Amino acid sequence: MLFFKKKTMPLTDFFSDNFIDIHSHLLPGIDDGAKNIEKSLELILKMYSYGIKNFITTPHVLGDIYPNSTETIKSKLADVQNALKDKGYTDIKIDAAAEYMMDEQFSIRLEKNDILPLKDNYILVEMSYFNAPINLYEILFEIQLKGYKPVLAHPERYNFYHNDFDNYYKLKKAGCLFQLNLLSLTEQYGKNVQKISNELLKVNMYDFVGTDTHHNQHLELLKKIGTKKNYKKIEHLILNNSKVFN
């Protein structure tokens, strides 16, 4: 009888010590992520058990739904940092940026330079899951005119692009960097999203990865990505996160 080695790997081997998660929703009570400080700590410590010790968490900034100001985000970040310090987790590093919906209010913020970048001049942006902004390429141009680099969150999740792959090439040509959601490697967002994420990986479209953690269910599902096959696909992206954002 033949015995085959399991091709799985613990997430603590998957994520290097200096890996930094650049997309998550861990600040308490300001978007659809952690509801309170207790949940913030619960999520962070669960991720810590997976080997993730460095975070740039990115609350939504979305019109009147999540009208988070720079001051609000920094205040909530300080609450989380202090709570971690009080519990003795000195080896967890957490900072905050934002995930900006590319809408009219974002353009106003951009004009005023009221932006929280991931680091240096990298901005995490997103668009509606129903359609791209009519003036998408103008917004991308504005971002770069201001000296920033747009990092598009989870491009694989924009279903309206799935039937015309050329749109992804156009976005890259327009200066967009791509961030893969790790859970897109599972069926979390549907088989089509999983398929497109693999196609984008094959043609080396992605620049970075993020967990996009909102709640415990996401972290339970994250265990599913821990295979040698997945690691081989995204090792270069994990390393690029470490290189660019540490």
Q: What is the pLDDT of residue 1?
A: 43
Does residue 3 form part of some domain? no
Residue 173, phi-psi category: left (phi > 0), alpha (psi -120 to 50), beta (remainder): alpha
pLDDT of 3 reads: 46
The predicted model gives 64-90 an average pLDDT of 97
Query: Domain for residue 73, yes or no?
Result: yes
In which element (H, E) is residue 180 found? strand 177-181
For residue 5, pLDDT over 80 is answered with: no
Residue 15, domain member (yes or no): yes
Residue 1 belongs to a domain? no
Q: What is the extent of the structural domain holding 179?
A: 11-245
Per-position DSSP letters for 26-57, written without gaps between them: -STTSSSS--SHHHHHHHHHHHHHTT--EEEE
Total of domains in the chain: 1
Residue 215 in domain: yes
Q: Does 152 map to a domain?
A: yes
Arithmetic mean of pLDDT, 40-50: 98
Q: Please answer whether residues 205 and 151 qualify as being in contact, where contact means their C-beta atoms are separated by less than 8 angstroms.
A: no
Q: What is the rounded radius of gyration, in angstroms, for the C-alpha atoms of the chain?
A: 18
The pLDDT score that the predictor gives to residue 2 is 47
What pTM was estimated for this model as a whole?
Answer: 0.96
pLDDT digits (tens, 9 = 90+) for 78-136: 999 999 999 999 999 999 999 999 999 999 999 999 999 999 999 999 999 999 999 99
DSSP string, 81-145: HHHHHHTT-TT-EEEE--EEE-SHHHHHHHHHT----SBTTEEEEE--SS---TTHHHHHHHHHH
pLDDT-derived band at 8, boundaries 50, 70, 90? confident
Kindly state whether residue 71 falls inside one of the protein's structural domains.
Answer: yes
**Does residue 128 lie in a domain region?**
yes
Q: How many CA atoms lie within 13 A of 235 on its CB side?
A: 6
Give me the mean pLDDT over the 155-172 stretch.
97
State residue 49's pLDDT score: 97
CATH number of the domain encompassing residue 201 = 3.20.20.140
Q: What pLDDT is recorded for position 9?
A: 87
Separation between Cα atoms, residue 225 and residue 87, nearest integer Å = 29
199 CB burial (10 A radius; 0-12, 13-18, 19+): middle
Give percent of the chain above pLDDT 90.
Answer: 95
Average pLDDT, the chain: 95
The predicted pLDDT at position 226 comes to: 93
178-210 confidence digits (pLDDT tens): 999 999 999 999 999 999 999 999 999 999 999
